[in-house]
Structure 1
């Protein structure tokens, strides 16, 4: 499965074509799905362009994207940086009225278990974000409901292409204790394409998009999420 990650924590200062508003996210999602994306991950933004999990912004983003790509699963972040504290974040997630199909939970963050259990109660799939270089794998494996998540996001934060593969291998080894749960392996910035190729070679789910990288495999600037998806499809096709 190839997921598109449309925007992430980035701002327009980093990428002029970054989709921010619900309408822009809808167009970007439509184009990415036409290019081959099978699943969508996005970060709802507030009026200033910053990440938020406020119910009104989540509803606007999810509703717009669903209308553009009916039948495609749409997910959002629950990153701790979206609010001023764990209690506020939990209250806002509990207040969601338009429910995404899935939401990512970063397991190294304070309050991750409470957010995950709220998502389970609401019937929202969980993408368990396990970052390299943290103790999140063990924290996740200690959670009694680990086998109930939709998938694990194995997130390689090592951006050096020379070492990222080994970092990824160590991360994957730490996740073998939850059989039957799909793993989506991805990298970021300078290691994004290296890790995508590794995921493809191992037959794992993966993702690409302006959240993870702003350039194509040939190092030219990426003009859109759809362009990144097309490049990823070429790499995945070569691994088959």
Structure 2
């Protein structure tokens, strides 16, 4: 396993607030602070959510621009800045697509089941991916169970999404009390996740365990307060950077170097290396 191991920090997410952790970043300045700290701890990417004046998740274009500028001013090009299009029951595919078109971000994460629900408009999604490919936007598709990998294959075969390898984020566990399980990881592995340039996120206090499995299996990690508040020893993490640092430590036994942002940009669409599990 010679390719580097990339850590993305997801510092806030769409649902948690300072009531969950007093250091959860909400404002652009706080997000930029956590970006700088996470970079120092070993992160190559930040997965960015923004909040409105009431602290609610939003896809507001102006608020995104403000937060993106704050992060870029803080870290330059040393982190990939990825925006989310998460719907949280408030947004529909046309609104998610409009945000991508307006912002032209360096990177964007898109949940497959949100952007193309059953009965959704495939032509709009195909056109979006054509535009993102032409613009060089680093798109990452989120899948919540192994069966969605088969759906990705079918969509790629029909030209709705680009052919593999895609950048894919596999999600273990849920926002409810269901923590990540080894059975979920194994199902993704058995369904051929290694065909893709994949990252893993895992809800709950076993996050570092799953990131170690990802490191040994050829994948990458997305960690932080969006999905988990705890360190491997069960203590509440003092910051997002502490979780990034714990992830880097957990990955040491894989003998993979930590990826820089520039290395992650180059890796994003390369086929996985031979022997990736």
The equivalent of 2:8 in structure 1 is: 3
CA distance in 2, matches of 1:157, 1:105: 18
Report if the CA contact (8 A) 1:108-1:139 is conserved: no
Contact 1:185 1:207 in 2 (8 A): yes
Aligned 8 A contact 1:53 1:93 in 2:
no
Q: Which has the higher contact order (CA 8 A, sep 6+)?
A: 2
Question: Match for residue 92 of structure 2?
Answer: 85
From 190, 211, 214, the equivalent of 1:196 is 211
TM-score with structure 1 length normalisation? 0.86
After superposition, where does 1:54-93 map in structure 2 within 5 Å? Answer: 54-71=60-77, 72-81=79-88, 83-93=90-100
Q: How does 1:37-186 map to 2 (within 5 A)?
A: 37-71=43-77, 72-81=79-88, 83-96=90-103, 99-111=104-116, 114=124, 117=129, 119-120=132-133, 122-132=135-145, 135-143=147-155, 144=159, 145-147=161-163, 151-157=167-173, 159-160=178-179, 164-176=181-193, 179=195, 181-186=196-201
Change (3 A) 1:119 1:44: farther
Deviation of 1:148 after TM superposition, in Å, equals: 6.7
How far residue 21 of structure 1 moved from its aligned partner, in angstroms, is 0.9
- Residues 92 and 76 (structure 1), Cα distance of their counterparts in 2 relative to 1, 3 Å cut: closer
Deviation (angstroms), 1:94: 2.7
Change beyond 3 A, Cα 1:23–1:168: same
Q: Which moved more, 1:19-28 or 1:73-82?
A: 73-82
Moved more, 198-207 or 135-144: 135-144
Please, which runs of 5 or more residues in structure 1 have no aligned partner? none
Q: CA RMSD in A?
A: 2.3
Q: Distance between the aligned counterparts of 1:20 and 1:149, measured in 2?
A: 34
Q: Which 5+ residue runs of structure 2 have no aligned equivalent?
A: 1-5, 256-277
CA contact (8 A) 2:208 2:246 kept: no
| Alpha-carbon shift at residue 140 of structure 1 (Å) | 2.0
2-structure distance, mates of 1:74, 1:93: 13
Q: In the superposition, relative to structure 1, how do residues 82 and 75 fare at CA in structure 2: closer, same or farther (>3 Å)? A: farther
1:8/1:206 CA distance change after superposition, 3 Å:
same
Checking the alignment, whether the CA contact within 8 Å between 1:55 and 1:93 is kept in structure 2 is no
Scaled by the length of structure 2, the TM-score of the pair is 0.76
Answer whether contact 1:186 1:199 (CA < 8 A) is retained.
no
